[in-house]
Structure 1
Amino acid sequence: MLEHGAAPPAGGGNPRPPVTGGLGTRLMRRKPVERLVAESGRGEGGSLRRSMGVWQLTMISIGATLGTGIFVVLGEAVPKAGPAVILSFVLAGITALFSALSYAELAGTIPVSGSSYSYAYATLGELIAWICGWCLILEYGVSVAAVAVGWGQYLNELLAGTVGFTIPEALSAPPGNGGVFNLPALLVVMLAMVFLLGGAKESARANTIMVTVKIIALLLFCGVALQGVRSGNYADFMPMGMAGVSAAGATLFFSYIGFDAASTAGEEAKNPQRDLPRAIMLSLVLVTLLYCLVAAVAVGALPWHRFAGSEAALAGILKTVTGQNVWAVLLAFGAVVAIASVVLTVLYGQTRILFAMSRDGLVPKVFSRVHPRTGAPRANTVIVSLFCGVLAAAVPLGQLADATSIGTLFAFALVNVAVIVLRRTRPDMPRAFRTPLAPLFPAIGFLLCIYMMGNLGPVTWVVFGVWMAVGLVVYFGYGMRRSRLTTAEK
């Protein structure tokens, strides 16, 4: 619930100063909330600019969320659950809701760019914060690539319906999926990079336009595809049982990762304590309703077993229902815009998380260098964009989506723990939003995240384990020694 007149979290309680001691003490040292807030916006050579209100913040979260599950991953989830994929969306949405409540509380209490990384730093200690930040790099960076991979399929749908030409498979699919190099995936990441280099305000304006277009496209799909809905397509509603619903839900959780994107804009929001919680909750509710509506119409219009292998399922449904290409072309246009919006906003979140980690000294200073004219971390944006673009062009979609899901779930689990810890250690802090029934709801959110992680495949866990191992090597080899808390102790 919102507390009227809540003050910024600069007061209340005594911040913990950096402490010296053994290895265990250094790994568990926390960064005081007051220091996090005091450093807000500051970078190397400049500062981020506060230019976004609740509308822009909500559009960032919707832009980062809406599109991935429906436009790209639906073709992978339906074969796992059948028509009950609707319940899979609900399950993933409920899982996201409990974590969203925790995010809303912490975003209003600690309104900084680092999202769950910064929340963990203030509550759980530096090592856990690093692990969380490393997960966020996996979550945001890899999801940019995963979404960009699907962009090529819809771009080809659009080109085929308008100019009768498609990009050859060798240049529009990643290796392993019949391609050599996914050129469209690289192209959309580079396009997003250009917008981001212009600054947060300009990027938010472009994103708002794209979000509007993709909502209209999905509502158009529902209106047209509704004509082809057959009750018989719902008959075998749960062919794989609850296990199938859970498995699909774990995959579809990938499509909810964007709701926390607003929390990465904490240092560019005009009134972060008030607007961040509102933007997070509003975006999640709107996206969940639209996801369930589109999924219900899609599985009603096309037998569930025909979804297998389709990464552009919605356009195919419209073509089947109407027998005409014009509706599929319109939807393909909406999907091209929608997925570009996801790439833009998730890439934005990735750069802001690295900005916060760099300011703390855990990654190189280049990531917190701010351009004095645009107020954007330019070098950070270019490096991240090039990395994600190459990744998108070289790795198949399915593996990327599941790897993103496990990193997301792990970070969300830590956020739920962080709420409980901060309530106990700093109960006096002003909170613009309070998670209802704490610590019960955060505990449920934590358990649901762990449950969803358990439904992911062994290969995904191997990738996650290797990623974590690499992260620990980087932390002990670089981050721990370069940490600003370490330099403050000397």
Structure 2
Amino acid sequence: MTTETSKYRRDMGTLGVLFIVVNGLIGAGIFGLPEALHSAVGTFAPWLLLIGGILVMAIVVCFSELTKLTDRSGGPQRYVGDAFGAYPGFVVGWTFYAARLISQGANVLVMAAYAAALWPVLEEGIAKIIFIVSVLGGLTFINVIGIGRVVVVLGAMTVFKLLPLLLLTVVGLSAAHHAGPIVLPEFSAVEGMALAALYAFVGFENATIPAGETKKPQHAMPRALMAGLAAVTLLYFGLQWAYSHSTIAGTGADAPLTALAGEYGGDIGAILIGATIVLSVLANLTAGHTSASRIPPSLADDGLLPAWFGKVSRWGTPANSIVFFGVLAILISLWDNFLALAAVSTLARLLAYITSIAALPILRHQAGLAAFNPTIVVAAPVALFLSLWATTQTNVTQWQALAGFAIVGTLLFFIARRNNTID
């Protein structure tokens, strides 16, 4: 079991980890998914989401077991590195970091687009640039001055974004038409939408990365991971049920939940959900910034990146890495031709899942435990099958982009190792 005194301040508890889990899962995707799912599989759609959440729980169970074996930051990079060696761990950590960086730039543009629907001046030009710089700059600032402050901000955003969604779920369920018998769709329809449903559940792994800034992470993280996914799965199920049994279902709504809110609450309801979407994406950006910016310090602590990335600020945070991530995210968000690369983040996550699960029995053996326990025997095969299947749904372009990131990272890896050898 890997345990050491962290050089970073441990200011985050179980609730903070839970906020990162929930906001890593709930971004913008669920707001556009209900109509697509309903069009494909009808009233089976909420059950498809429920099945998706249960299957992803197998992956989360494996990660919960992994978090019990170390109190150091890094998440998948730490697990793979400790099990298979420095370079495999570096590749997993670096590709995940690079992909999350691109995703951060893409997500802030999504947020700007939703915000522009409420405030049209943000649609283009200098106002849009100021908005993007303000959002990412603000996230950088609060991360630098302490993860405890990030938790407070995330907590407030979580409450304010979940309340309208819960209200919409309750109202929608109350007004829903009689469900009637469940009609099972054709297998081809389910298979075609299964990946989209699965993608609604990625992002929980972000919470495992800042373990070095978490109080008793071996206890806090397993509980937060399990509780977070369970809560989000139930919310997804309720929202989809309310939508699929409403008069809006099947109308081809581009913004299905906004349309549903408008059906029950008029213009005020639609505006409220529109604002909730903006807040939801902002919370997702906050969780992403907090987790991804902690990957380079973990690599630097192991001598796999220059020590500059691991420098600790007077607030006990890896300030250089946080600012580096924020600046690059701003630059990427101002580049118009990168959005297609955002899909690479999902592939990087899947590879992180596969390699981390494969590391689990090795790490347990290193910790003096039995390589497998009953929980792992049940969960690991399901988790590996699901992750491997999902990788077959990707395309060559995404693999090429990921390989490009790996090559760039490999150069930095050997430069850092050479410098460490010389020193």
TM-score range, shorter chain: 0.7 to 0.9
Does the aligned pair in 2 maintain the 1:315–1:328 contact within 8 Å?
Answer: yes
* Contact in 2 for aligned 1:358/1:368 (Cα 8 Å): yes
Q: How does 1:248-397 map to 2 (within 5 A)?
A: 248-301=193-246, 302-304=248-250, 306-307=252-253, 310=254, 312-322=255-265, 324-372=266-314, 374-394=315-335
How does 1:2-81 map onto structure 2 within 5 Å?
Answer: 9=1, 33=2, 37-38=3-4, 41=6, 47-71=7-31
Unaligned runs of 5+ in 1: 1-8, 10-32, 42-46, 160-164, 173-179
Q: Write the distance in 1 (CA, Å) between the matches of 2:62 and 2:351.
A: 14
Matched, 1:483 2:421: no
Worse-superposed segment, 78-87 or 98-107 = 78-87
1:242 Cα deviation (Å)? 3.2
Kept in 1, the 8 Å contact 2:95–2:405? The answer is no
The answer to whether the 8 A contact 2:173-2:238 is kept is: no
Whole-angstrom distance in 1 between the partners of 2:285 and 2:353: 21
Alignment of 1:403 with 2:341, yes or no, is no
> Who is 1:223 aligned against?
170
Residues 100 and 334 (structure 1 numbering): CA distance in 2 closer, same or farther, change over 3 Å?
same
- Return closer, same or farther for 1:378/1:480 CA change in 2, 3 Å cut-off: same
SS in 2 for 1:370: coil
Mapped partners of 1:199, 1:411: distance in 2: 27
Instruction: Report how far residue 306 of structure 1 moved.
Output: 0.6
Q: Deviations over 1:426-460 (max 9, x none)?
A: 261499xx86443442132111101112223x2xx
Contact 2:25 2:232 in 1 (8 A): yes
Q: Within the alignment, does 1:190 sit opposite 2:124 as a pair?
A: no
Q: What letter is aligned with 2:252?
A: R
Of the candidates 413, 416, 426, which is equivalent to residue 366 of structure 2?
A: 426
**Under a length normalisation based on structure 2, what TM-score does the superposition of the two structures give?**
0.87
**What is the CA-CA distance between 1:107 and the residue it aligns to?**
0.8
2:113 is the counterpart of 1:166: no
What is the aligned partner in structure 2 of residue 203 from structure 1? 150
Alignment correspondent of 1:162 = none
Question: Counting helix residues as a fraction of each chain, which structure ranks higher?
Answer: 2
Cα pair 1:117 1:130 within 8 Å, conserved: yes
Question: Is residue 2:58 matched to residue 1:124?
Answer: no
Q: Does 1:438 align with 2:376?
A: yes
Q: 2:390 aligns with which of 452, 457, 460?
A: 452
Contact 1:99 1:413 in 2 (8 A): no
TM-aligned CA distance change 1:230 to 1:394, over 3 Å: farther
* Alignment correspondent of 2:57: 97
Runs (5+) with no aligned partner, structure 2: none
Task: Tell me how far 1:208 sits from its aligned partner.
Answer: 0.8
Amino acid of the structure 2 residue aligned with 1:318: A
Q: Tell me if structure 2 keeps the 8 A contact 1:123–1:418.
A: yes
Task: State the distance in 2 between where 1:481 and 1:230 align.
Answer: 63
2:305 and 2:367 mapped to 1: Cα distance? Answer: 32
Query: Once the 2 structures are TM-superposed, how far is the Cα of residue 364 of structure 1 from its aligned partner?
Result: 3.0
Match of residue 137 from structure 1: 97
In structure 2, how many angstroms separate the alpha carbons of the residues matched to 1:435 and 1:296?
36
Who is 1:464 aligned against?
399
SS of residue matched to 1:304: coil
**AA at the equivalent of 2:209:** T
Q: Contact between 1:136 and 1:408, CA under 8 Å: does it hold in 2?
A: yes
Are 1:245 and 2:180 an aligned pair?
A: no
Q: What is the total number of aligned residue pairs between the two structures?
A: 422
- Following TM superposition, by how much is the alpha carbon of 1:369 offset from its aligned partner in structure 2, in angstroms? 1.6
Aligned amino acid, residue 256 of structure 1? F
How has the CA–CA distance of structure 1 residues 347 and 199 changed in structure 2, closer, same or farther, with 3 Å as cutoff?
same
Q: State the secondary structure of the residue aligned to 1:256.
A: coil
Q: How far off is 1:290 after superposition?
A: 0.8
CA contact (8 A) 1:99 1:412 kept: yes
Separation (CA, whole Å) in 1 of partners of 2:274 and 2:414: 47
- The one-letter code of the counterpart of 1:49 is R
Deviations 1:235-255 (A, max 9, x none): 9874xx334433433234333
1:204 Cα deviation (Å)? Answer: 0.6
- 1:466–1:332: structure 2 CA closer, same or farther, 3 Å change rule? closer
**Alignment root-mean-square deviation, CA:** 3.3
Distance in 2 between residues matched to 1:230 and 1:453, nearest whole Å: 38
Using the TM superposition, give the Cα deviation of residue 214 of structure 1 relative to its aligned residue in structure 2, in angstroms. 1.3
- How much does 1:335 deviate? 2.3
Instruction: Determine if contact 2:294/2:322 at 8 Å carries over to the other structure.
Output: no
State the 4+ residue runs in structure 1 displaced beyond 6 angstroms.
180-183, 232-237
Deviation at 1:106, TM superposition (A): 1.2
**Preserved contact between residue 188 and residue 343 of structure 1 (Cα < 8 Å):** no
Report the CA distance between 1:81 and its aligned residue.
5.0
